[in-house]
């Protein structure tokens, strides 16, 4: 029996596209994108955004899909095995461990954030926070929920813990059901529901009455706040970097999750159209739904000046502090509030399971664990490692993890994989992998884009981010002294997790000649 | 500070929406069997 026959494959093409789109669509589509547009030139932001999508986003999506499908053919669902197929050097497998590290570290705190959405969907439906009509009051509610302070609503971390465990159990249950019954079924249910919720909320925002106290605060002003172009910003390099960064995050590139999903694609099944379709669906949720909800609604109720401050306050401030105030002033606010947080929850949970799947594949394929047992191990590790994130959040534990694995690590991983694929494996063979079975004639220009432009794009992002942010983060500039030990703790957690994965890779492949990788079964 | 949606803003918004909706329609149209496939021509 070949490795391919032993592995699961996606049951339907639409299911695969929805699963890939579900992986890409996340909280960033609905909270990060509108802030980025508003802060970086409005409509003008879309020029570098679409250029980045064409020159970096879609090519990288094809690269990751092709790499993953090729891995699956040889029975490998994770990047250590896949990198070994591209670069016939023993170090390749250890470099590939980065793909498991990023997804495994990300899924821990991302699932915690997703659980907040479940909690807030419940609080909205129950009207728990109704009466807290200022951002300051909602900030206090949020801090109480997270256990940062005790107040009239929360006396401890219990509620946050409850919703985290509920979300974790859901994720583990979906993972334990496998690729078709678990991941694909979730995508086929959650994505259409997400679209319906998103369109319904868009319709609600577009029909909002102007603010009675300030008639100038209306939907038109809200859309203008996001879309009115400041073309002079196109000459600003930061705007181009922001657009490239947004494309990177929104398509979930550099994670290692797309490769694992692609490893369950049949050997001669199309990748070109599948990748483009998944990216398009993600863009639809981001630009059409994400660009029409949070910021325009905030402008109607807070006005452009205060919305500017809200936007610069961060995604969580927009989603968990400002919008709950907006919903309270809306007819049927409890209903629309719970819809908003359910939308966020669905966007998040489809990404959570995708991030957990590489660890599942690693445990199933390399340690021969059964699927339910692998799901239990993943759940147990998440439950243990989330503890410091929950209890030390006020000291920036989550922020530290998010920067190194969820921001910087992604660009490093993407650069490594595109170099291995286009240069080490060879662009001719790489092009053959991407176009095999294609139901879409990819223009030949993308051969050169993948070989030259995409790596160059990534090098520029990596160099600038290192110069602008990474050095300061590494040296903990601006970090209050009492938070320093906790931030070191976050780094040690990442390093410890990496060491454990490297040990696993070594145990599986250490000392074995590269030739064995071609004959896994 | 913005006071309303300008013609330029509306243009950027509508072009962005149109590009994305066209892409989604194209991809799902192809996937669900409509339109010519490169493989059919070979």
Q: Are A57 and A253 spatial neighbours (Cβ–Cβ below 8 Å)?
A: yes
User: Closest Cα partner for A36 from A241, A234, A323?
Assistant: A241
Cα–Cα dist A294/A37, whole Å = 12
* A43/B38 touch (CB, cutoff 8 Å), yes or no: no
Test the A interface: residue of B11, B20, B23 with most A CBs within 10 Å: B20
CB proximity under 8 Å: A 264-293 to B: 273, 276-277, 280-281, 283-284, 287-288, 291
Handedness of CA B27, B30, B35, B39 (dihedral sign): positive
Chain A residues in contact with B2 by the CB 8 A cut-off are 221, 224-225, 228, 304
Over the stretch A342-371, which tens digit does the pLDDT of each residue have?
999 999 999 999 999 999 999 999 899 999
Rg of chain A over CA atoms, in angstroms?
22
Stretch A138-166: mean pLDDT: 93
Residues 6+ apart with CB under 8 A from A239: A40, A41, A44, A45, A48, A233
Mean pLDDT of chain A: 93
Question: d(Cα A460, Cα A463) in Å, to the nearest integer?
Answer: 5
Note the ipTM here: 0.89
Determine whether the interchain pair B31/A273 forms a contact, defined as Cβ–Cβ distance below 8 Å: yes
Is B9 in contact with A43 (CB distance < 8 Å)?
yes
Give the A window 100-129 contacts with B, CB below 8 Å: none
User: Would you tell me how many other CB atoms lie within 10 Å of the CB of residue A260?
Assistant: 32
Which residues does residue A214 pair with via DSSP β-bridges, in sequence order? A211
Q: What are phi and psi of A211, to 5 degrees?
A: -60, 120
Question: Which of these, A344, A295, A358, A338, lies nearest to A76 by C-alpha position?
Answer: A358
Distance CA A115, CA A198 (A): 19
pLDDT at A1: 44
Q: What is the pLDDT of residues A12-27, one digit of tens each?
A: 999 999 999 999 999 9
In angstroms, the CA A210 to CA A221 distance is 10
Query: Residues A102, A254: contact at Cβ < 8 Å?
Result: yes
DSSP string, A283-351: HIIIIIIITTSHHHHHHHHHHHHHHHHHHHT-HHIIIIIIHHHHHHTSTTHHHHHHHHHHHHHHHHHHH
Q: How many residues does chain B have?
A: 42
- Which of chain B's residues have a Cβ under 8 Å away from the Cβ of A220? 4-5
Angle at A48 between CA A43 and CA A54, to 5 degrees: 120
Using the Cβ of B16 and the Cβ atoms of chain A, whether some distance falls under 8 Å is answered with: yes
Q: Which of A313, A293, A310 is nearest to A302 (CA)?
A: A310
Q: How many Cα atoms within 13 Å fall on the side-chain side of residue A280?
A: 20
The predicted structure's pLDDT at residue A511:
66
pLDDT at A514 (0 to 100) = 63
Q: Which of A14, A43, A223 to mutate to test the interface with B (most CBs of B within 10 A)?
A: A43
In contact, A280 and B20? CB cutoff 8 Å: yes
CB contact under 8 A, B20 and A50: no
Q: Helix A237-250 and helix A409-419: axis angle, to 10°?
A: 80
Distance from the A115 Cα atom to the nearest Cα atom in chain B, whole angstroms: 30
What distance in Å separates the CA atoms of residue A286 and residue A272, rounded to the nearest whole number?
21
Beta bridge partners of A211: A214
CA dihedral A430, A433, A434, A435 (to 10 degrees): 120
- Asked whether the beta carbons of residue B2 and residue A304 sit closer than 8 angstroms, the reply is yes
| Preferred mutation among A33, A273, A311 to probe B, highest tally of B CBs within 10 A | A273
Class for domain A3-511, per CATH?
A: mainly alpha
For an interface test with A, which of B2, B22, B23, B24 has the most A Cβ atoms less than 10 Å from its Cβ? Answer: B2
pLDDT above 60: residue A186: yes
pLDDT band at residue A64 under the 50/70/90 scheme: very high
Residue A513: band (very low, low, confident or very high) from pLDDT cuts 50, 70, 90: low
CB contact under 8 A, B9 and A227: yes
Would the pLDDT of A470 be above 70?
yes
Q: Which residue of B has its CA nearest to A227?
A: B9
Query: What DSSP string runs through A173-232?
Result: HHHHTHIIIIIIHHHHHHHHHHHHHHHHHHHHHHTPPPBTTBTTSSHHHHHHHHHS--GG
The answer to whether A108 and A516 have CB atoms below 8 angstroms apart is no
Q: Do A276 and B9 touch (CB under 8 A)?
A: no
How many angstroms separate the CA of residue A142 from the nearest CA in chain B? Answer: 30
> Which pair of structure tokens corresponds to residue B13?
């918004």
- CB pair distance less than 8 Å for B30 and A17: no
Mean pLDDT of chain B: 80
Residue of chain B minimizing CA distance to A443? B38
* Packing angle of the helix pair A13-24, A272-283 (nearest 10 deg): 50
Residue A99 tokens read as 């793909």
Cross-chain residue pair A439–B30, CB shorter than 8 Å: yes
Is some CB atom of chain A closer than 8 A to the CB atom of B14?
Answer: no
A489 in contact with chain B, both atoms CB, cutoff 8 A: no
- A26 touches A191 (CB < 8 A): no
Look at A69 and B32; give whichever has higher pLDDT.
Answer: A69
Are B12 and A305 in contact (CB < 8 Å)?
no
Burial class of residue B41 (count of CB atoms within 10 Å of its CB; 0-12, 13-18, 19+):
exposed
CA distance A154 to A162: 13
Looking at beta carbons, which residues of chain B come within 8 Å of A227?
A: 5, 9-10, 12-13
Q: What's the confidence (pLDDT) of residue B18?
A: 97
Instruction: Name which of B12, B17, B41 to mutate to probe chain A: the one with the most chain A Cβ atoms within 10 A of its Cβ.
Output: B12
Residues 198-227 (A) with a CB less than 8 A from some CB of B: 216, 218, 220-221, 223-227
Query: Any idea where the domains of chain A sit in the sequence?
Result: 3-511
**Residue A520's pLDDT band (boundaries 50, 70, 90)?**
very low
Q: How far apart are the C-alpha atoms of B24 and A286, rounded to whole Å? A: 13
Cβ pair A229:B8 closer than 8 A? yes
Whether A273 sits inside 8 A of B30 (CB atoms) is yes
pLDDT in tens, A83-125: 999 999 989 999 999 999 999 999 999 999 999 999 999 999 9
The answer to whether residues A101 and A497 touch, using CB atoms and an 8 Å cutoff, is yes
Give residue B33's pLDDT.
76
Closest CA to A427 of A38, A62, A33: A62
Under 8 Å between Cβ of A153 and A128: yes
How far apart (Å, rounded) are the C-alpha atoms in residues A347 and A184? 15
Positive or negative, the Cα torsion across A72, A74, A77, A81? negative
A293 close to A201: Cβ distance less than 8 angstroms: yes
What mean pLDDT comes out for the span A39-56? 93
């Amino acid at each position: 029996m070949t490795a391919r026959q032993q592995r699961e494959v996606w049951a339907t093409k639409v299911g695969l596209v929805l699963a890939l789109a579900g992986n890409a669509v996340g909280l960033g589509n609905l909270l990060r994108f509108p802030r980025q547009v508003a802060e970086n030139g409005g409509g003008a932001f879309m020029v570098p955004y679409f250029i980045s999508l064409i020159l970096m986003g879609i090519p990288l999506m094809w690269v990751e899909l092709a790499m993953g499908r090729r891995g699956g053919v040889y029975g490998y669902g994770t990047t250590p095995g896949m990198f070994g197929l591209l670069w016939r050097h023993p170090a390749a497998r250890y470099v590939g461990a980065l793909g498991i590290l990023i997804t495994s570290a990300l899924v821990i705190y991302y699932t915690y954030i997703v659980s907040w959405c479940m909690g807030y969907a419940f609080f909205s439906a129950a009207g728990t926070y109704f009466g807290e009509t200022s951002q300051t009051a909602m900030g206090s509610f949020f801090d109480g929920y997270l256990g940062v302070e005790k107040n009239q609503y929360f006396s401890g971390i219990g509620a946050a813990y409850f919703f985290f465990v509920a979300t974790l159990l859901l994720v583990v249950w979906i993972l334990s059901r496998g690729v078709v019954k678990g991941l694909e079924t979730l995508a086929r249910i959650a994505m259409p529901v997400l679209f319906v919720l998103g369109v319904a909320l868009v319709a609600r925002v577009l029909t909002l009455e102007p603010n009675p106290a300030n008639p100038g605060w209306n939907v038109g002003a809200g859309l203008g706040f996001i879309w009115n172009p400041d073309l002079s910003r196109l000459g600003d390099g930061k705007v181009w970097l922001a657009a490239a960064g947004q494309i990177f995050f929104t398509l979930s590139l550099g994670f290692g999750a797309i490769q694992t999903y692609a490893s369950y694609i049949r050997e001669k099944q199309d990748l070109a159209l599948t990748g483009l379709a998944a990216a398009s669906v993600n863009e639809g949720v981001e630009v059409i739904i994400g660009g029409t909800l949070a910021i325009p609604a905030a402008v109607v109720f807070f006005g452009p000046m205060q919305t500017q401050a809200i936007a610069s306050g961060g995604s969580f401030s927009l989603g968990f502090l400002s919008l709950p105030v907006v919903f309270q002033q809306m007819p049927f606010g409890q209903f629309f509030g719970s819809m908003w947080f359910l939308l966020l929850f669905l966007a998040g949970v489809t990404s959570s399971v995708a991030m957990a799947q590489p660890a599942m594949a690693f445990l199933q394929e390399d340690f021969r664990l059964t699927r339910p047992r692998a799901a239990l191990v993943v759940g147990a590790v998440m439950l243990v490692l989330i503890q410091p994130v929950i209890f030390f959040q006020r000291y920036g534990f989550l922020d530290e993890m998010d920067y190194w694995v969820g921001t910087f690590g992604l660009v490093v991983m993407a650069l490594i994989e595109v170099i291995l694929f286009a240069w080490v494996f060879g662009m001719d063979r790489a092009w053959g992998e991407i176009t095999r079975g294609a139901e879409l004639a990819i223009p030949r220009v993308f051969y050169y884009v993948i070989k030259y432009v995409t790596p160059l794009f990534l090098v520029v992002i990596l160099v600038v981010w290192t110069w602008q942010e990474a050095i300061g983060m590494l040296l903990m500039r601006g970090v209050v002294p009492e938070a320093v030990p906790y931030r070191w703790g976050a780094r040690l957690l990442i390093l410890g997790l990496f060491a454990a994965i490297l040990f696993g890779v070594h145990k599986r492949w250490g000392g074995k000649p590269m030739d064995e990788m071609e004959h896994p079964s | 500070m913005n006071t309303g949606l300008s013609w330029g803003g509306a243009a950027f918004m509508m072009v962005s929406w149109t590009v994305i909706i066209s892409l989604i329609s194209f991809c799902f149209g192809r996937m669900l069997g409509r339109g010519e496939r490169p493989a059919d021509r070979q």
